[in-house]
């Protein structure tokens, strides 16, 4: 499994604003969309292309089109914030949802909802802004593979070394695209330095 840290200066500029405790929900949502756009563009570099010929105003020329559709599966609830940029970028997107809830005492994920499109033949993205323990991501990706996904790419805003290691153990074929690999998890399984609870900051439920 490869971990790709998107260290473009603009990505890091957006991440800095997401980390800032003074960033209010409306701005937090807008910045997260911008950062997700950069992450998803990088995460889909290996999407299949098909070659065709078109006629320009000057002459015929060879061009490349997207050769496969996308399946975007946000992990609820915070993953919803990453869906809109995918829908804006790509012309053919099938959307699924996996609802996972973390037990705050055990930090284990419990599935409470799942609705998936047909995944066969699509480039599959799992979307979750926080890769902390890796439990939710691993469980979601297991479900995606069981429902026909041949290859899944994980897209997250920030990640912890513990989460990366766990996901690598469960799904060594999955590539991770993130804006940062942070220091560690604290005793409550939150990412340090992190940016707090992404969902709470996103929706103003702090």
pLDDT in tens, 137-161: 999 999 999 999 999 999 999 999 9
Q: Residue 48 and residue 150: Cα distance in Å, rounded?
A: 14
CA 189 to chain centre: 20
Q: State the CB neighbour count (10 A cutoff) for residue 103.
A: 10
In this predicted structure, the answer to whether residue 106 has a pLDDT above a threshold of 80 is no
Q: Residue 159 and residue 2: Cα distance in Å, rounded?
A: 13
Catalytic residues: 102, 106, 197, 200
CB burial of residue 58 (10 Å; 0-12, 13-18, 19+) = exposed
> pLDDT confidence of 117, banded at 50, 70, 90?
very high
pLDDT digits (tens, 9 = 90+) for 58-103: 999 999 999 999 999 999 888 999 999 999 999 999 999 999 776 6
Q: Residue 98 and residue 124: Cα distance in Å, rounded?
A: 13
> pLDDT confidence of 206, banded at 50, 70, 90?
low
Instruction: Domain ranges for the chain, please list them.
Output: 3-47+67-203
Q: Residue 53 and residue 173: Cα distance in Å, rounded?
A: 35
Q: State the CB neighbour count (10 A cutoff) for residue 107.
A: 15
Q: Over pLDDT 90: what percentage of the chain?
A: 84
Q: Which CATH architecture has domain 3-47+67-203?
A: 3-Layer(aba) Sandwich (3.40)
* Mean of all residue pLDDT scores within the chain: 93
Q: State the CB neighbour count (10 A cutoff) for residue 99.
A: 17
Tell me if the pTM is above 0.85. Answer: yes
Which residues 6+ apart lie within 8 Å of 118 measured at CB? 94, 148
- In the block, residue with structure tokens 């999955």: 174
* Nearest of 198, 204, 201 to residue 76 by alpha carbon: 198
pLDDT digits (tens, 9 = 90+) for 156-180: 999 999 999 999 999 999 999 999 9
pLDDT digits (tens, 9 = 90+) for 34-52: 999 999 999 999 999 999 9
């Amino acid at each position: 499994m490869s971990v790709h840290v998107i260290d473009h200066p603009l990505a890091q500029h957006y991440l800095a604003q997401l980390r800032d405790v003074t960033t209010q929900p409306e701005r937090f949502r807008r910045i997260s969309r911008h950062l997700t756009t950069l992450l998803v563009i990088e995460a889909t570099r290996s999407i299949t292309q098909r070659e065709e010929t078109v006629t320009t105003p000057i002459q015929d020329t060879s061009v490349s089109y997207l050769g496969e559709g996308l399946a975007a599966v946000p992990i609820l609830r915070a993953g919803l914030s990453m869906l809109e940029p995918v829908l804006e970028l790509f012309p053919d997107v099938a959307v699924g949802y996996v609802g996972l809830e973390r037990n705050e005492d055990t930090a284990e994920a419990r599935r409470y909802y799942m609705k998936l499109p047909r995944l066969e033949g699509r480039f599959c993205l799992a979307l979750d802004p926080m890769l902390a323990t890796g439990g939710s991501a691993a469980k979601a990706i297991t479900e995606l593979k069981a429902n026909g996904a041949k290859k899944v790419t994980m897209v997250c805003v920030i990640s912890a070394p513990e989460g990366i290691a766990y996901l690598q153990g469960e799904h060594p074929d999955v590539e991770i695209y993130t804006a940062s690999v942070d220091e560690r998890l604290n005793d409550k399984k939150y990412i340090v330095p992190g940016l707090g609870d992404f969902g709470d900051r996103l929706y103003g439920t702090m």
